[in-house]
Structure formats: structure tokens, C-alpha cells
Amino acid sequence: NSDLVIKDLHVNVEDKEILKGLNLTVKAGAIHAIMGPNGSGKSTLAYTLMGHPGYTVTGGEVWYKDQNILELDADERAKLGAFLAFQYPVAIPGVTVANFLRSAINAHRAEEGKDPKSTAIPVAQFRKELREKMATLEIDESFVRRYLNEGFSGGEKKRIEILQMAMLKPTMAIMDETDSGLDIDALRIVSQGVNTLYGQQPEMGVLVITHYQRLLNYIKPHFVSVLMNGRVVREGGPELALELEEKGYDFIREEVGSQQ
């Protein structure tokens, strides 16, 4: 089963409970948006899914491809096909974007007990795929020859992420629109990239995490869930995002409050 199924997830950050029994299913082949006010736990969810050590799971399960991925380390999750798009690599002196991407792919292809050289992607094949993906994503050739520590802009970092995603071909892509906010160019790049990849690989699941409705003008979700105070409090279709845009989060806050 290639749905991502989150059951009663509880997560602490520095001994404070942030996720308080979160339930969510991201279906394979669907684009699913999570929206929520600042501080509701959106990034905590993203970091927890990627296995960040600062986030302590105190309860619950996250099932993907018949495994509770909370029991797997970050590499193993990636090998199952889960991809966190906000993992911008730390600047490594002398490493080009192309070399970085090739190492990322080879890390994916590595198998325990086998010589890494035997599982590595052949260089010619890598170049061919890279050229193809760059063409679809309209990324200039010179870009991948630049060094990772060259001082990329926010939009360029997003481009690297999207290219990385295109090359790794995840079956479940998880994107967190960071609170720093994407500028309009970066937003366009990310959305076009996601839409292109989704178009080529319609069985891919996509979880888009965002505070703002505006991202969803570019990436059209099939499902929308609202996160508030560490729990999913409302689920619906794309019309829910529009309703939030119009009314803000307060109307849901009031509804949730009156049920308690």
C-alpha cells in the first residue's frame, strides 16, 4: 500500500507536546495540502516525517509501503521513496550541483553488502537523465556546474531541490513551504516543478504543507486538511482552501472551540 497513513501521532519538541494525536492519510496519486496557522505544528510534522532527531515521537504510527517508517532511519525512508523537498544541502566546498545530485542518487541506489561502485548510476546515464530533467524544468545548463557553496538565492535553492526530486523520482513527495516565505519566483519554480513531475508520474503522492492559500493557486490539491494545535481539525476538497482564504482560520477555530 503506497498511501502514507499517519495514525494518532504525538510529537514532543523539547519536552513540550506539539503534535497531539494527528491523523492523516495521503493517498498515492493524490496531491494533499495541509494548511494551518503559524505554530500549529506543520513544520514539526515535516521534520518528524524526515526523521529529524530534535523531534521526539511519543506515540502513534506512520505507515508507508507496509512499514512503520518511524522505525526506519532517514536514509531508509528515502529508499522507500519518501522525499522531503526542503532538505537543502549544506555548502560543501568544491562540490558542484551535478556532483551533489549524483551522490544523492548513488546513496539511494546503494545496497548493504555491495560495492557502491557496482550500484552507482553509470555516468553517461546520469548525464542523460540530468539533461532531460533540466530541459523539462527549464533549468539552464550552466546551473549544475556551479558550486553548492556559491551563494544561491532562495529561488535557486528551490530549483536544486526540485531538480533533486526529479532525479530521485520519489513515490511520496513532502514539501514544506517554510515560514520565511517563498518569493513569487521561487513559488512558481516549485509549483511548476511539482506539477511537471506529478504529470509524468501520476502515481506519486504529494503532501504540500503551507500556511498560505496562494501556493494552492499554483498546485491544485485534491484534498485539504487543516492542522490546528497539533491535530487535523477539518478535511475537505480544494474548496476548503478557498474558504480559508476568504474567512481566515478564525472560523474553524471557533467551530473547533464550540465542539469542545
Q: Which residues bind Mg ion (CB under 5 A)?
A: 8, 21, 42-43, 179
Q: How far is the CB of 160 from ligand ADP (least distance, A)?
A: 22
Task: CB nearer to ligand ADP: give 167 or 174.
Answer: 174
Task: CB nearer to ligand ADP: give 43 or 191.
Answer: 43
Would you say 33 and 221 are in contact if contact means Cβ atoms under 8 Å apart?
A: yes
Answer with the entry of ligand ADP, Mg ion, none that 14 interacts with (C-beta below 5 to 8 A by kind): ligand ADP
Q: How far is the CB of 96 from ligand ADP (least distance, A)?
A: 32
Q: Is the dihedral of CA 103, 121, 76, 18 positive or negative?
A: positive
Would you say 86 and 160 are in contact if contact means Cβ atoms under 8 Å apart?
A: no
Collapsed DSSP state (helix, strand, coil) of residue 209: strand
Collapsed DSSP state (helix, strand, coil) of residue 227: strand
Answer with the entry of Mg ion, ligand ADP, none that 115 interacts with (C-beta below 5 to 8 A by kind): none
Task: CB nearer to ligand ADP: give 36 or 170.
Answer: 36
Nearest to 87 by CA among 189, 191, 173: 173
The values of phi and psi at residue 32, to 5°, are: -120, 125
Within 13 Å and on the Cβ side, how many CA atoms surround 177?
29
Answer with the entry of ligand ADP, Mg ion, none that 39 interacts with (C-beta below 5 to 8 A by kind): ligand ADP
Enumerate residues 26-55 that contact ligand ADP by CB under 6 A. Answer: 36, 38-44, 54
Find where cell 513559488 sits. 187
What residue type is 90 in one-letter code?
A: V
Enumerate residues 158-197 that contact ligand ADP by CB under 6 A. Answer: 179
Answer with the entry of ligand ADP, Mg ion, none that 21 interacts with (C-beta below 5 to 8 A by kind): Mg ion
Site residues (vs ligand ADP, CB under 6 A): 13-14, 18, 36, 38-44, 54, 179
